Structure 1
Amino acid sequence: MRNIRGRATALLAVAAVALTACGDDSEPSADETSTEAPSEEPSDDPSTPEETTPAFSCPPELTDALPESLDPGTCWSHPDLERPALADGTVFALEPDASDPTTARHILALDAETGERLWKSEVLPGQVSALRATEVDGGPGVAVVVTEDNAGDAVTEASTAWGYLAWPADAGGDDGGNAGSEDPAFEAEEHITVAQGENPHTEVFWTDQGVLAGDFLLKPGATEFVPVNRDPEPMVVGAYDLDEFFAGVSGDLMISYVRGIAYEVSEDGDTYVGWLARTLDGAEAWNTVTSTPNEEDLLFAEGPNHTTILVGPYLLTIAATDENATAFEVTWLDAATHEPATPSAADLAGAQPVIADSGGLAAAGALLSPDGTRLFTGWSGGALILDVEAGTVTPVATDFTIQGSAIDDSTVFGATENGTLTVDLAGAEATAIEPPHESFDLVDDEVGVALLQGGVGETSYLVGGPRADG
């Protein structure tokens, strides 16, 4: 635990009584008191400052579970916070409201290095569907999508509405302080509401180029949601509807990956795979779907399995070219034109990739390093690291799917069925974290954050602080 040493200064009070010297210049007698304070002999004994404990220090019982590079003496903790996000040195999380812990929630902003509570939001107007660190008014901030009841003029027939609320990281300003119960709760800088529509959809798709909530899209910087057709007619071959795996929004298009079989085309059926882009009204803009005849008793017999990823304005396909998934082909497309593309690391920096379809390789998710140089994706039985500019794919040796949770420019932090681990992005080498230590859930420059889940009836903690490996 970290102890902050307070400085205690001893003040010496001297009472000086001025006595007259009977008008002469003689030295005071022994019976007289000098008006000069007596000199104090210096002491070699060190002072013992009062020791205090920071309000947010990690409890000793968490020491063994902390991520390895968090120092128990400098880490911070907060109990029972949920859904953390991290941006530019600020951690955002959901905090239950003491007056209504089952439904009411605040967003809390913390200093990522010290754990100091910077500000808290007003009570959110409904259940949280998504929370994400994002840009707000040109700077770092946090946004949340909630479902709102009876939200006024934006709602028809007392239905439920989607509400988008956003705060800049410095929402508290100089008056934020330690956001305790007596401190103000800050209103959102942006609050945009729209009716849910006929098909509310519980899943919110949040990409770099738009938030899709139900039947409505909010583009970056927009002041209102626009309607979209979330349920267009699927691609049909003969009597067969092809499966579509929706990835999200890129520019003015909704992007999906198509994969399916039509059995009427040939004796064993044909497999169809490829990207499909639709305009916001559901009309097809373009598709790259192609078919391959299946071999007897084999599905998807064209050989390669695919993982497909939306990365900002680009579409990425990684296809295994052998049975054991040890060699791969990498293809990039411009999402707007479906033309081949060769994005640089700078083109991708800051994007948050979204898996569209993992194919038979069962990808668990994708992470892009902040500098855009490497992309990590987990697969059944292993994981891959793509060097963006070299175009090379390196498998990570592991027996289990790696669930990547956090990434910086050199390391992935994650877990397998066997425990937590790190993966070196340059060498694709996985290193187990000695239990019971945990992996980071979020990293940003020299700080890290982890959510330590307690057992049933136990307290969970959000912990963080400076990283020894940062």
Structure 2
Amino acid sequence: MTNIRARVAAILAVAAVALAGCGDDSEPSADETSTEAPSEAPSDEPSTPEETTPQFSCPPELSDTLPESLDPDACWSHPDLERPALIDGTVFALEPDASDPTTARHILALDAETGERLWKSEVLPGAVSALRATEVDGAPGVAVLVTENDAGDALTEASTAWGYLAWPADAGGGDGGDAGSEDPAFQPEVHITVPQGENPHTDVYWTDQGVLAGDQFLATDATEFTPVNRDPEPMVVGQYDLDEYFAGVSGDLVLSYVRGIAYTDDGSENGDTYFGWLARTFDGAEAWNTVASTPNEEDLLFAEGPTQMTMVVGPYLLTITATDENATAFEVAWLDAATHEPATPSAADLAGVQPIAADSGIMASTGALLSPDGGHLFVAWSTLAVIVDVEGGTVTRVPTDFEIHATTADDSTVYGSTQNGTLTVDLASAEATAIEPPHESFDLVDSEFGVALLEGGVGETSYLVGGRRTDAG
């Protein structure tokens, strides 16, 4: 934040000049009236009023739609930025390139408080498959996956490769700068390519262990991708294949949740519902499973097994099971992903982890959010939303009849939306509070800063807005 330090130094310099003037013996007494304007020492430093006016301030027309905890007089905005990510006071986003705004993109790094540009990458070599705020060499940064053409001698002109690029937050140096400068810090810290495989390039997922791109996995500290068998032989009971919902990667294991029905061979009975965790090695061989069964006597169309929400939470597997018909009481069970032994993680064990829902059939889900301190987990499925106190072992249902789409969370609050508008959910009490329209919820929060993407209508400008939150603890 060299520019911020420079502005502070300038303000202090002006203050020092003013204080020096106060010690002048010729200053008139309190009973006298001075007819001369006070002298000012010449200075090349910018004036204080100019310094307190944000360069990227929010347009007045956005004031009514900003998140209610974003001060309209102290926020910043940038038009037409895409897919923001926020970490440790730095916002990263995609910026269309002026020469080809339909396909070419830069990565832009912004100061989360002022909106000032810190740096801009060169044009990315292909379509962005995924972008995530993360650590780069132990410091805040951004990692990007792209689809890259003509990536080297090992590939034909027609082939496509994955490119993994990562930049630290200070890639442009203290003064920022443009892509293509001679500053070598603009080069990505990591640039790895690998043949794409059979899966489409949009099939990209981030986990706490690394990046899964199609059927290739890149561990956090690895220098090359490892092939993963994403289509192993399924579990079979009698003549029925059991459904597996891919959940993620932990260590050298690929994790799935099994939930399916196996009817009797002659069809005279409804058979059993099977459910539980399944771990495979990267080559598809089964490592362990906790799959159990229960009679399915009442429903020929849907599994009658327990109402459950399942997810991977870092190195742990979590199952939340309703213990009554109306899903008002719950039990939680944690397993160590490596050993499938029962576990009792602490908040510190989970701090900074991003949970991944497993039973919905989708890899990434905004319905599962963990507070940054690891203390509370928010989980939503259909109209059921609950908060898990990790160390207390309790589960509290959020009193709402609408599906909640959670977007972000801090240590005390979840920000999200329902079909009726945006809202917050208190993690301690599970109380949901509507945000009065037309104000919006934050899309991202990080300590004292917040960011939201205000989508414009057809033909209108969209804005990325942010700044210091007035509700930050």
CA contact (8 A) 1:229 1:282 kept: yes
Three-state SS of the structure 1 residue aligned to 2:254 is strand
CA drift of 1:247 comes to: 1.2
**Alpha-carbon RMSD:** 2.6
Distance 1:321 1:183, change over 3 A: farther
Q: Tell me how far apart the structure 1 counterparts of residues 323 and 280 of structure 2 sit (CA, whole Å).
A: 29
Three-state SS of the structure 2 residue aligned to 1:68 is coil
Aligned residues: 432
CA drift of 1:54 comes to: 2.9
1:395 counterpart (390, 394, 397): 397
1:312 corresponds to which residue?
314
CA contact (8 A) 1:385 1:396 kept: yes
1:112 corresponds to which residue?
112
Alignment of 1:82-161 (within 5 A): 82-156=82-156, 158-161=158-161
Q: Tell me how far apart the structure 2 counterparts of residues 244 and 201 of structure 1 sit (CA, whole Å).
A: 22
Give the TM-score of the pair, scaled to structure 1: 0.87
2:444 counterpart (439, 442, 445): 442
Three-state SS of the structure 2 residue aligned to 1:61 is helix
Distance 1:238 1:435, change over 3 A: same
Q: Tell me how far apart the structure 2 counterparts of residues 154 and 54 of structure 1 sit (CA, whole Å).
A: 49
CA contact (8 A) 2:147 2:201 kept: no
Three-state SS of the structure 2 residue aligned to 1:66 is coil
Three-state SS of the structure 2 residue aligned to 1:233 is coil
2:210 corresponds to which residue?
210
Q: Tell me how far apart the structure 2 counterparts of residues 299 and 293 of structure 1 sit (CA, whole Å).
A: 14
Could you tell me which amino acid in structure 1 is paired with residue 260 of structure 2?
Answer: G
2:199 corresponds to which residue?
199
Q: Tell me how far apart the structure 1 counterparts of residues 383 and 298 of structure 2 sit (CA, whole Å).
A: 27
Q: Tell me how far apart the structure 1 counterparts of residues 201 and 82 of structure 2 sit (CA, whole Å).
A: 23
Q: Tell me how far apart the structure 2 counterparts of residues 274 and 419 of structure 1 sit (CA, whole Å).
A: 36
2:471 corresponds to which residue?
469
Q: Tell me how far apart the structure 2 counterparts of residues 329 and 169 of structure 1 sit (CA, whole Å).
A: 41
CA drift of 1:324 comes to: 1.3
Three-state SS of the structure 1 residue aligned to 2:358 is strand
2:282 corresponds to which residue?
280
**373-382 or 88-97, larger mean C-alpha shift:** 373-382
CA contact (8 A) 2:106 2:121 kept: yes
1:28 corresponds to which residue?
none
CA drift of 1:302 comes to: 4.6
2:297 corresponds to which residue?
295
CA drift of 1:41 comes to: 4.0
1:18 corresponds to which residue?
none
Three-state SS of the structure 2 residue aligned to 1:332 is strand
Three-state SS of the structure 1 residue aligned to 2:270 is coil
1:335 corresponds to which residue?
337
CA drift of 1:191 comes to: 0.6
CA contact (8 A) 1:154 1:195 kept: no
Q: Tell me how far apart the structure 1 counterparts of residues 169 and 352 of structure 2 sit (CA, whole Å).
A: 17
2:346 corresponds to which residue?
344
Three-state SS of the structure 2 residue aligned to 1:126 is coil
1:56 corresponds to which residue?
56
Three-state SS of the structure 1 residue aligned to 2:85 is strand
CA contact (8 A) 1:132 1:143 kept: yes
Q: Tell me how far apart the structure 2 counterparts of residues 234 and 337 of structure 1 sit (CA, whole Å).
A: 21
Q: Deviations over 1:251-300 (max 9, x none)?
A: 11111111111112671121111111111111111111111111133555
Distance 1:248 1:274, change over 3 A: same
CA contact (8 A) 2:122 2:179 kept: no
CA contact (8 A) 1:441 1:451 kept: yes
**183-192 or 418-427, larger mean C-alpha shift:** 183-192
2:44 corresponds to which residue?
none
CA contact (8 A) 2:129 2:204 kept: yes
Structure 1 unpaired stretches of 5+? 10-39
CA contact (8 A) 2:129 2:201 kept: no
Three-state SS of the structure 2 residue aligned to 1:245 is strand
1:250 corresponds to which residue?
250
Distance 1:364 1:79, change over 3 A: closer
CA contact (8 A) 1:344 1:389 kept: yes
Distance 1:283 1:92, change over 3 A: same
Distance 1:147 1:165, change over 3 A: same
CA drift of 1:50 comes to: 6.2
Q: Tell me how far apart the structure 1 counterparts of residues 417 and 114 of structure 2 sit (CA, whole Å).
A: 26
CA drift of 1:128 comes to: 0.7
CA contact (8 A) 1:377 1:384 kept: yes
**237-246 or 50-59, larger mean C-alpha shift:** 50-59
Three-state SS of the structure 1 residue aligned to 2:379 is strand
CA contact (8 A) 1:303 1:322 kept: no
CA contact (8 A) 1:413 1:440 kept: yes
